[in-house]
Each structure stands twice: as structure tokens, then as C-alpha cells.
A = this chain, B = another copy of it.
């Protein structure tokens, strides 16, 4: 088993957002090598059709499988929402951890009154994937969903603590908060960056479930269960592949990752 355990974890996303999951993985599993793939040339996925998202995801998964990863972490909520089964089929016996399953598990653990809110991109919300997964784990749960398409561009603009973002959050969360949810799932990898603002807007009355942290935790559990944790306790290797390197990539990427990005390579898909 150890030869396989030394392989890297493959993490992928439609863009840079998944770097919040990489950051959580680095903290939780500091001895694991990680290969990240971000489809920055075609980002965002959250406003595109299911067929297109599946076609793009297939290309990314094939790329990561060629790099002999020992596990696949679907850091993108949109991909997890509409293409997880397809990723599992392509992955064969390689374990696949999806942000939505991880987030739903964490939400049902946290919620006391079984009233759970979910915020995410339009495609994730429309897929109903969070509600389905939460109901599977907690059949009497009531799930209130809200698409928040402006949060991603607001975070990418760097307005993580800005009156415009606060006003937007108040508008988006109004209906969900009226339903007395005690738990709110941040169903998009960009949202952890506005956690302080969301805590403020929700008046501290709800528990925020950060999908990056829960996914790192789920990944640790899966690797431990399969005896795939890296036995080598040396300095880990991190590699980043993207389909485009736009002007502000480094700045935005490092804001998500919380450290500098080295070993960055641009590749062409499709």
C-alpha cells in the first residue's frame, strides 16, 4: 500500500476558489503532496449548463488521473453538484471526495433544530444537490437554499469587507434568516473569504459550515480509512496547473491559498 500512499492528492476546481480547500488540506494533512488543477480559462462554471460542466470536468479528471493521484478532491461545488457520479466512474478505484457530501455531513452534525440554510452559485442551488444530500443524512431536515451569484465576483474584486458586499449579503440572506435556520452551509469555495462579514450579517445567530474545512476533514478520514496517508514526513510538494494565467492571478490566488504559489504551470485542455 505504501507506494500508492506516497502519491499526491489531486484537487480540482473551475478556477482559483478551490485553493481554499488546498489551504485547509495543507493544514489538516501537512505531509501530503498536492496537485491542484484550476480551469481558469473557462471559469466560472456556476452559470453554465450541466452538459458543458460535465464535458469540462471529464477533461480535468483525465488530466489528473494521468498524474497518478491517489485521491480526487472535487473542490468545486458546482462540479460536485452536477458531475460527481461521472467523476467517480472515471476515477475507478481511486477515492473521490466531493465538497457537497462533506458540507452536508458537517451541517447535519452541527444543526440542532434541523433547519439548515445553504448558499451557493445558481447552478449548485438549482441542482438541489445539497438539499438531497442533507435529506439523505437527516430525513426530517428542512433546507432553505439561496443562490448568491454576486459573492464570487465580490470576493474576486477583493471587497471582502465592504459596504456593497454587506448590502448584498443582507439582501441574499433575508429570506433564509426569516426561516430561523441555525446552520448555514457556505456552498462555494469563495465564501470562506467573507466568513467574518457573513457572521456579522447573520448576527452570530447561525453556525457557518465552511466547506473547505469539512472537505479537508473528510479527505483525511477517507485516506486514513484506506491506509493511504503519506508515510513520509518530509516537506510536501505542491504543484498548480491552470488553463489561463490572467493578470491578477497571483494576487487573487495567494489570497485564497494564504501563501505564495510556486510551481505554477499553464496547460491546454480540450
Contacts and interface: CB of A to CB of B under 8 A. Distances in A.
A207 interface: no
Interface stretch (A65-73, A148-156, A175-183): A148-156
A133 interface: no
Q: How many monomers of this chain does the complex have?
A: 2
Given A150-B154, A157-B150, A167-B163, A122 B41 contact: no
Contacts of A41: 42, 48, 52
Interface of A is mostly: loop
A168 interface: yes
Contacts of A157: 149-150
Contacts of A149: 153, 156-157
A230 interface: no
A248 B49 CA distance: 9
Interface stretch (A28-36, A138-146, A188-196, A239-247): A239-247
A164 interface: yes
Contacts of A20: none
A123 interface: yes
Contacts of A52: 41, 243-244, 246
A168 B153 CA distance: 12
Interface in A185-225: none
A122 B167 contact: no
A171 B165 CA distance: 12
A234 interface: no
Given A40-B48, A150-B154, A150-B159, 10 more contacts: A42-B42, A47-B156, A48-B244, A48-B246, A49-B245, A122-B247, A149-B157, A150-B157, A164-B168, A164-B171
